[in-house]
Amino acid sequence: MSLSQFIPFLPEIFLAVAGFAILLAGISLGKRGARGLSLLSLGSLAVTAILIWVVGRPVEGAHTILGGMLFVDTFAVYFKLLTMTASGIVLLMSAGYLERSDYSPGEFDALILFATLGMMIMASGANLVSLYVGLELMALSQYVLVGYFKLELKSNEGAVKYFVLGALSSGVLVYGISLLYGALGTLDLGAIRAALTASDTVNWTLNLGIILVGFGMLFKVAAVPFHVWTPDAYEGAPTPVTAFISVGPKAAAFAMFLRLFLGAFHPELAQWRIVMWIAAAATVIYGNIAALTQDNVKRMLAYSSIAHAGYALIGIVAGTAMGLWSVMVYMLIYTFMNLGAFGFVIMLETRGYAGERVGDYAGLAKRHPGAAAGMLIFMLSLAGIPPTAGFMGKLYVFSSAVQAGYIWLVVIAVVMSAVSLYYYFRIVVEMYLKDGDEDEPAPLVRDRWLDAMIGLCVFVTLFLGVYPAPVVGLAQSGVHALGLG
Amino acid sequence: MHIEHLLTFVTLGPAAGALILAFIPGRLEKVQRWAALLISLAEFALSCLLWANFNPDIAGFQLQTAKVPWIPQLGISYHLGIDGISLLLVMLTTLLMPVVIIASWRSISEHVKAFHISLLMLTTAMLGAFVSLDVFLFYVFWELMLIPMYFIIGVWGGPRRIYAAVKFFIYTMVGSVLMLVGILYLAYSNHLQTHVWSFAYSDLLKAGRQLQMGHSFFTSPQMLVFAAFALAFAIKVPMFPFHTWLPDAHTEAPTGGSIILAGVLLKLGTYGFLRYNRPMFPDAWHAFVPLILVLAVIGILYGAWVALVQPDMKKLVAYSSVSHLGFVMLGLAAGTIASTEGAVLQMVNHGLSTGALFLLVGVIYERRHTRMIADYGGIARVVPVYTGLFLLVTLSSIGLPGLNGFVGEFLILAGTWRRYPVAVIFAALGLIFGAIYMLWMVQRVFWNPFTHEENKSLKDINLREVLAVAPLVIFIVWIGVHPTTFLSPMEAAVRSLLMH
């Protein structure tokens, strides 16, 4: 193995080194320097992105590096850039938040970078082992991040729950992988696909393996019935961490999901589709219904993110090229709108856990019309109302399912998105239609970086709502990588 | 200005106006009002240009804009066009906008800028829904209507405004999401046959007609897609039994909001039935005609009976809408040329007379802050001009010959008689009840003994309010005296719609 083989792997190597450097820098800085470290981390993400562009650019066809461990293709680049953007936005959003907290920023930023590294490997893994390593790197960083506010009880509770259930799901995933290896004798995705295409007999060990891997993935994307960790982890985690785990890891998990189920396991589509159908329907129904009664905004957004995982699963059920790129587009749109909504929660959150109750939003439009308008756009987008990006995302996913003949699943999904209006608009009702407590109004954190990031999310949400064509083109170029149409 | 851009200007003009309005500083409320008024007047002038350039001999869509690809992956494009039916409704919309702005001149005193921005955005959405030639574009405009209307009810409405706004929002949303599935299914069946994605009205029209009928409702694609569209429109109309959001929304909305709601928004439901359900799913339509007839007649009678016992004038007018829209649905369901023309004309008529009624109720509400019939009585002596106008509009609403309501209702009933005489007999009962509840209200408010001393100081209608109601009155009389002006442009379009 020559050294030149590592050149396409340079972005990941660089990011790992940068992560350690920031960890060390953070130790020497202590609790100071949150903004500087954020910028530094953002800079290393930017350098990584440039490196991806320079060395990691895909060649024709499916191309693997490091002895078949990682793909270098447009699909991987799409998700790498998406997760890195999410991490970058979170880093800038969290700088001021960490400044106001009692906790040091060094480990926080480094953990975000390590999680990003894990997500990049998940997006490009060509072997079940490399995928699993990426997943675990991401997950371990997340467990720590959720429990980052170590003196807060809720933060600890969320982290422990997340860790125990996450470890269990990883076990299930590995068990599924071992069954697959037992049945096929290979862990390479390309070889698995070839073997599945070649065999036409039903192999129950194999199917069980696929289903167990599917369960592991459903856990990672927070789909019903593997969602129970979500509300507690989301509520307990520091809000920037909640923002992070609701988008980046979810996008990366969907990248792995797509790579496995629409790539390697695609020949067995008829076998696993029913499982995904049920999971998608249950997720959409449960997520939206459970969100209705939440008074805590973070918990509500947790259930909403469960529901959105359900919408994205519909594209996987479709199992077509359109299903694939529609999920890719959906993840991008979801990333921006959800980050924006959480950015807004950060804005309202003062020390402790104030600003999380729906009632805290009362009369906000009167006092802060700009901020309220931003939140309105995110709520509209999450509910899927034109002309916002959320509507376009749903349109593509639903179209793919209708095209594949899954009309009743789409009917369930659209009815549930009408239900979702109620809870998203509870916030709008508070902001616009109710009068707040004028004597003691909830304070609003003014942080330019946060404002800028929310502004960016508003812009993307509106722009993609009016003109989604370029992103779709980008996603469509990733379809060939998985060998679909 | 090239003529093919005219529709774009008309449709997107209000949105552009809203953008301009957004840059006027918040405290210059007078400037905002005048700016909004001028924009809406310019809109009306532009739509008169539409009227002038419209060729009534052409049945299909005319004054079409160029087809601009919007979402190329799914074959969705920006494409507008107009026929005789949508022309009338566009004119109605642009006529009502300045009326609403003048009517809200005093009554809206908070968040003046936001109110007018909502109003203008709403106008763009309504106009867009009338003139879209791409079904997806229609859906986007259709959904876009919800948000401004939600705020108009929720922010500037009455005491129970939040309940009414949320109810309005959820009701209409539930209806329209299923329509989205229907639209996607149509596009998919079109894709199956042509292997090209398209959401163009003309393509989906063909796709819809070719849908299988099947043996039962749940195995019949055409029936199911028909139902998905029909539910959205039936809620909007609103047809019995989907009408329960309407009294709440109407009663809680500010006067301006009620005028738009009654004047234009409800028409989108009936327009949808005529433009989509009827020509796209002809077989399903014929299967559903009996149901629509029955629901229309129930709506006519039920709306009238409930209106009869309302103590609140605004609620009375709101229930009268359920009854009047029942007539429109009756005319559409009967499907003869006369009844369909009558139905389209009645859409305009209802917009004019119910809009005027809401406006006039708003006028007196601003003075006394009560809408209860019992709080008035014998005020004809105190406010003679107002009484005269109210009476005129009432007579138009109950269909006095020589005014607009008569023409529409007569055409509907005469056209329906040839096919469904029993329905006409019941509907005619509704006419009688309509006269009873309206005239009884007028009697109790204006003529009964003068019982409330505080009404002595009531001021008569002022010049601004007369200016607001004047355009409506002009058209009420115009349509009544010379309906041909309004019937001839739509004749070709109605004929071609009914051919299939």
- From B172's Cα to the closest Cα of chain A, the distance in A is 9
Q: Per residue in A105-149, pLDDT tens?
A: 888 999 999 999 999 999 988 899 999 999 999 999 999 999 888
Nearest chain B residue to A473 by CA distance is: B73
ipTM of the complex: 0.87
Q: What is the mean pLDDT of residues A38-46?
A: 92
Number of domains in chain B: 1
Q: What is the mean pLDDT of residues B267-273?
A: 92
- From A403's Cα to the closest Cα of chain B, the distance in A is 6
A140 part of contact set with chain B, CB < 8 Å: no
Per the structure, the complete domain to which residue B375 belongs is given by: 3-157+288-499
pLDDT surpassing 70 at residue A35:
yes
Residues in CB range of A41: below 8 A, 6 or more apart: A18, A22, A91, A109, A110, A112, A113
Using an 8 Å CB-CB cutoff, list chain B residues near A432: 151, 154-155
**Bridge partners (DSSP) listed for residue A129:** none
A468 part of contact set with chain B, CB < 8 Å: yes
Percent with pLDDT over 90 in chain A: 48
CB contact under 8 A, A433 and B72: no
CA distance A460 to B33: 32
Nearest chain A residue to B163 by CA distance is: A429
In a domain, B17, yes or no: yes
Percent with pLDDT over 70 in chain B: 100
Using an 8 Å CB-CB cutoff, list chain A residues near B165: 429, 433
Average pLDDT along chain A: 88
Instruction: Select from B74, B78, B151 the residue whose CB has the most chain A CBs within 10 Å, as the one to mutate to test that interface.
Output: B74
Both structure tokens of B417: 């008689």
CA distance A384 to A379: 8
Q: Per residue in B210-245, pLDDT tens?
A: 888 877 777 788 889 999 999 999 999 888 888 888
CA distance B409 to B431: 9
Using an 8 Å CB-CB cutoff, list chain A residues near B162: 429, 433-434
A472 part of contact set with chain B, CB < 8 Å: yes
Whether omega before B241 lies within 30 degrees of 0, making that bond cis, reads yes
Chain mean position to CA A313: 13
CB contact under 8 A, A422 and B166: yes
CB contact under 8 A, B185 and A402: yes
Instruction: Select from B151, B184, B192, B193 the residue whose CB has the most chain A CBs within 10 Å, as the one to mutate to test that interface.
Output: B184
Q: Which secondary structure element, helix H or strand E, spans residue B421, and what is its range? A: helix B421-442
Name which residue leads in pLDDT, A28 or B139. Answer: B139
Q: Per residue in B408-464, pLDDT tens?
A: 999 999 999 988 999 999 998 988 998 999 999 988 888 888 887 787 888 888 888
pLDDT surpassing 70 at residue A320:
yes
Contacting A with CB below 8 Å, chain B residues are 70-74, 139-140, 143-144, 146-147, 151, 154-155, 161-162, 165-166, 169-170, 173-174, 177-178, 180-181, 184-185, 187-188, 191
pLDDT surpassing 60 at residue A353:
no
In a domain, B409, yes or no: yes
Number of domains in chain A: 1
From the list B146, B181, B191, the residue facing A411 with the nearest CB is B181
Per-residue model confidence (pLDDT) at position A120: 93
Name which residue leads in pLDDT, B452 or B139. Answer: B139
CA distance B476 to A429: 39
The closest alpha carbon to B119, from B88, B153, B168, B142, belongs to B153
Using an 8 Å CB-CB cutoff, list chain B residues near A472: 71, 73
Q: What is the mean pLDDT of residues B487-499?
A: 87
Per the structure, the complete domain to which residue A40 belongs is given by: 3-482
Using an 8 Å CB-CB cutoff, list chain B residues near A421: 169-170, 173
Tally A–B CB contacts below 8 A: 80
Per-residue model confidence (pLDDT) at position A355: 63
In a domain, B222, yes or no: no
- From A418's Cα to the closest Cα of chain B, the distance in A is 5
